[in-house]
Amino acid sequence: MEKPYTQGGWHRNVPPATKFPTIFAGRNTHVARVVVDGGLTPEEIEANCNLIAAAPKLLEALIALESAARTGEIGAKAGTKALEQARKAIDTAFGVYH
């Protein structure tokens, strides 16, 4: 299945997002910029940047989990790997990077 998003490993700029609100794919490809003047708190802006940066990992983890569930591999090695992948993606969404 072709990946339906910009490739390159998404990551956010350095904190604070109120000053550096850009999400990158790879080294210099800008894929998103979070609005910082829309009445959001600094914490919401940080969380939004983290969630956007984690989007590809979250999608890939969901695809892996769906596949493991469909083939009955939840609990098997493939299912365990998919759950680990999901945990890392969730951590990224919450600003914890591995």
Report the domain count for the chain: 1
Mean pLDDT of all residues in 51-66: 87
> What domain range includes position 42?
10-93
Span 24-48, pLDDT tens digits: 998 889 999 998 888 899 999 999 9
Give the contacts of 78 (CB within 8 A, at least 6 positions apart): 64, 67, 68, 71
Does this model's pTM top 0.75? My answer is: yes
pLDDT at residue number 13 = 86
Classify residue 3: in a domain, yes or no: no
| High-pLDDT (> 90) share of the chain, % | 35
What mean pLDDT, rounded, does the chain reach? Answer: 85
Give the contacts of 47 (CB within 8 A, at least 6 positions apart): 94, 95
Q: What are phi and psi of 40, to 5 degrees?
A: -85, 150
pLDDT at residue number 98 = 58
Classify residue 98: in a domain, yes or no: no
Indicate whether 71 pLDDT > 70: yes
pLDDT at residue number 43 = 92
